[in-house]
């Protein structure tokens, strides 16, 4: 049986592989790699709620933000929500849940989990996404 961090690492690996095998342009892959790299500091400096809102604001303008938001939202649905279902009305969207349904302590706990996701994504993206400048 795999532990939680192994399951999250597998999730990250699968997401990066999907991106590499997709038809995304090298420019989008390069931007995504950069955005993943900067996500941890962005979350730590501004907070998870503000970062998620920023990604949602940008997702219609730029594909790399959309991809990153979708990865975080899918992580939310797959790994975080299971223990919180009875408390959450907005199951399908991390932004709505963070704003409307969760306590400040729960937001801090989820922030820690999202930072684990981001760190694993960053390591895998650095190793796997090679884009020619």
- How do residues 63-108 score in pLDDT, each as one tens digit? 889 899 999 999 988 877 666 555 566 567 888 888 887 889 889 9
- How do residues 3-58 score in pLDDT, each as one tens digit? 888 999 999 999 999 988 888 788 888 899 999 999 999 999 999 999 999 999 98
Q: Are 69 and 95 in contact (CB under 8 A)?
A: no
Q: Are 129 and 33 in contact (CB under 8 A)?
A: yes
Predicted TM-score (pTM) of the model is 0.87
pLDDT score of 61: 78
Structural domains in the chain, sorted by start: 4-18+25-128 (1.10.520.30)
pLDDT score of 39: 96
pLDDT score of 87: 59
CA atoms within 13 A on the CB side of 11: 23
pLDDT score of 34: 93
What is the C-alpha end-to-end distance of the chain, expressed in Å? Answer: 41
pLDDT score of 124: 94
What mean pLDDT do residues 112-121 have?
Answer: 95
């Amino acid at each position: 049986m795999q532990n939680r961090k192994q399951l999250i690492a597998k999730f990250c690996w699968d997401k990066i592989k999907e991106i590499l095998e997709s038809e995304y342009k090298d420019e989008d892959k390069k931007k995504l790699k950069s955005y993943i790299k900067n996500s941890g500091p962005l979350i730590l400096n501004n907070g998870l709620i503000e970062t998620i809102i920023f990604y949602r604001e940008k997702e219609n303008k730029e594909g790399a933000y959309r991809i990153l938001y979708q990865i975080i939202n899918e992580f939310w649905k797959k790994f975080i929500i299971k223990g919180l279902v009875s408390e959450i009305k907005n199951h399908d969207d991390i932004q709505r849940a963070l704003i409307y349904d969760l306590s400040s302590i729960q937001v801090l706990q989820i922030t820690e989990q999202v930072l684990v996701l981001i760190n694993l994504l960053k390591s895998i993206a650095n190793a796997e996404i090679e884009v020619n400048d």
